[in-house]
Amino acid sequence: MRPIHLRWLVISSVFIALAAQAATRPHYGGTLRVETRTAIESLDPVQSINLSEAGAHDSIMPLVFDNLVCIDANGAPQPQLAIRWQSGDNNKRWHFWLRGGVLMHDGGTLTPTIAAQSLTTSSPELRVRPTADGLVIESDNPIPGILAELSLPRNAIVARSADGTTVGSGPFRVIDFQPGRRLLLRANEDYWNGRPYLDIVDIALGQSLRDQAMHLQLGRADVIELSPEQVRRAVQDNRRVATSSPSELIAILIPHGTGAAEDPRIREALSLAIDRNAIQNTILQRQGDAAGAILPQWISGYAFLFPTASDLGRARQLHLEAGSNQPPILLSYDQSDSVIRTIAERVALNARDAGIIIQAAPQSSLTRQSAPQIIRIRLNSCDPVAALATVVEAVDPAELARVLSTMSTEDLYQTERSLLEDFRILPIAHVPRSFMLSQRVRNWNMKREGDLPLDNVWVEVAVQ
């Protein structure tokens, strides 16, 4: 080979190597296309939403809004908009110092007054007042769990304009929101914690799992949700799958005034009749764990103390004690969630083995508040107090103060046990959140609690 040809070969190889390196090195720009089954209708962190929306709603909030504190993967509080804090008066008084120079999405500066007004709206049970450089939160009772509570999405710091528009300070700004259909976000160039790599996050709402899979295959989506059955197939096909720790609770909620289910013996009999292990093995394809507790083992450390095995003998006995002429119980479910529908149908079969007649039916506006429902509740924190508070807000908000006063693991266990003893909430399973990713998505480091990890995600671009 002549020397000149060798030189050109070396030069070409260098250019090819540099191009390949540029294609795989993190860079700014690009659009990430995300699809979700849930059709959220509001971006207000404190907006009252139905439980079927709560998971997606709370997962999206951290993209737009910041909290005073956040919880890391080890369950420890970390500074966010508050740079430090101090408690006093036996945990009845908390002083927070705010980060300076934080810009809101409308160009205004975050002030102690904005933060105090936001928390007064989201947590009216607390007394919040601004100071010169932060704010003070006070309560009549000790609130050692306040840091966990303040990390929840509903306590994000929001500025509210006269027309009700919410303004955040998070890593992405809202540039278009079509309730139930689409959310378009743009990178916040002035974000206090550094601009995200992505330029745009385009979230398609209300997409069925089947449509999501098709859109990923056609190159129209980059991140989609997966059902347990889809996870198994995707792993077998060597597809890119990201899965969180078991961070969603599937459970039956039984409100007051529900006919036959008002008898605590019927509620306990139903709980004992449910074959949780069979549901976890077959319907959930061994994704997650059968659940007798509200919190999963990885969060609380004591979930194993709550039994998951069925006991048909005891269930039949309780049913006979309550009376054999009980009317049917309506069990409602989200029709768009095929996994929940299948579990509801299996629960109805289990209940029949104990003599309890259950009719599983799609949820409606009439049944949402008046009938038992089987739902998902996302436990959106690695902190056990915050995770339990998420469930308490959905089941019995009056118990929230008790959760925030938790001082130890033993206190937390006793609080959870008391929430379960009247069988108004029947845990069935803890399941992970699972996503499939396109080949262009890079640095997707799945968070244990299942939040969208978009702070360091970037998308690969084709080399010209």
Contact 231, 287 (CB under 8 A): yes
Cβ neighbors of 10 (< 8 A, separation 6 or more) are none
Per-residue pLDDT, 52: 59
On whether both 353 and 400 belong to a single domain, the answer is yes
What are the structure tokens assigned to 448, written together?
């244990």
pTM recorded for the entire structure: 0.87
- 3-state SS of the chain? CCHHHHHHHHHHHHHHHHHHHHHHCCCCCCEEEEECCCCCCCCCCCCCCCHHHHHHHHHHHHHHCECCEEECCCCCEEECCEEEEEEECCCCEEEEEECCCCECCCCCECCHHHHHHHHHHHCCCCEEEECCCEEEEECCCCCCCHHHHHCCHHHCECEECCCCCEECCCCEEEEEEECCCEEEEEECCCCCCCCCCCCEEEEECCCCHHHHHHHHHCCCCCEEECCHHHHHHHHHCCCCEEECCCCEEEEEECCCCCHHHHCHHHHHHHHHHCCHHHHHHHHCCCCCEECCCCCCHHHHCCHHHCCCCCCHHHHHHHHHHHCCCCCCEEEEECCCCHHHHHHHHHHHHHHHHCCCCEEEEECCCCHHHHCCEEEEEECCCCCHHHHHHHHHHHHCHHHHHHHHCCCCHHHHHHHHHHHHCCCCEEEEEEECCEEEECCCEECCCCCCCCCCCCCCCEECCCCC
Contact 425, 395 (CB under 8 A): yes
- Please identify, among 167, 198, 232, the residue that sits at the C-terminal boundary of a domain: 167
Per-residue pLDDT, 19: 43
On whether both 91 and 157 belong to a single domain, the answer is yes
Contact 457, 63 (CB under 8 A): no
The count of residues in the chain is 464
What tens-digit pLDDT sequence spans the chain (464 residues)?
Answer: 445 555 554 444 444 444 444 556 898 999 999 999 888 888 998 875 566 566 677 889 999 999 999 999 888 999 999 999 999 999 999 999 999 999 999 999 999 999 999 999 999 989 999 999 999 999 998 999 999 999 999 899 999 887 778 999 999 999 999 999 999 999 999 999 999 999 999 999 999 999 999 999 999 999 999 998 899 899 989 999 999 999 999 999 998 887 778 999 999 999 999 999 999 999 999 999 999 999 999 999 999 999 999 999 999 999 999 987 888 999 999 888 889 999 999 999 999 999 999 999 998 766 666 789 999 998 888 999 989 988 887 777 778 878 888 878 999 999 999 999 999 999 999 999 999 999 999 999 998 888 889 989 999 976 44
On whether both 178 and 267 belong to a single domain, the answer is no
Does the residue 353 lie in any domain?
A: yes
Contact 135, 128 (CB under 8 A): yes
Range of the domain at 199: 31-36+170-244+433-459
On whether both 281 and 380 belong to a single domain, the answer is yes
CA atoms of 7 and 173, how far apart (whole Å): 50
Closest CA to 139 of 71, 180, 93, 76: 93
- What is the CB neighbour count within 10 angstroms for residue 95? 17
CA atoms of 104 and 402, how far apart (whole Å): 34
Closest CA to 431 of 175, 227, 209: 227
Whichever domain contains 196, its CATH number is 3.40.190.10
- Bridge partners for 187 per DSSP: 172
What are the structure tokens assigned to 71, written together?
């919880």
Backbone φ, ψ for residue 427 (5° rounding): -65, 145
Whichever domain contains 407, its CATH number is 3.10.105.10
- What is the residue whose two structure tokens read 């002083």? 95
Per-residue pLDDT, 23: 53
On whether both 361 and 224 belong to a single domain, the answer is no
Per-residue pLDDT, 74: 87
Closest CA to 321 of 266, 383, 403, 377: 266
CA atoms of 24 and 18, how far apart (whole Å): 10
Does the residue 22 lie in any domain?
A: no
- Sign of the alpha-carbon torsion through 161, 162, 163, 164: positive
CA atoms of 213 and 223, how far apart (whole Å): 10
Per-residue pLDDT, 258: 78
CA atoms of 289 and 297, how far apart (whole Å): 9
On whether both 262 and 239 belong to a single domain, the answer is no
CA atoms of 140 and 350, how far apart (whole Å): 46
Does the residue 53 lie in any domain?
A: no
Does the residue 189 lie in any domain?
A: yes
- Sign of the alpha-carbon torsion through 27, 29, 35, 40: positive
Domain count, the chain: 3
Per-residue pLDDT, 28: 94
Q: What angle do CA 256, 121, 391 make, to 5 degrees?
A: 40
Does the residue 201 lie in any domain?
A: yes
Contact 53, 41 (CB under 8 A): yes
Does the residue 21 lie in any domain?
A: no
On whether both 291 and 405 belong to a single domain, the answer is yes
Per-residue pLDDT, 5: 52
On whether both 182 and 144 belong to a single domain, the answer is no
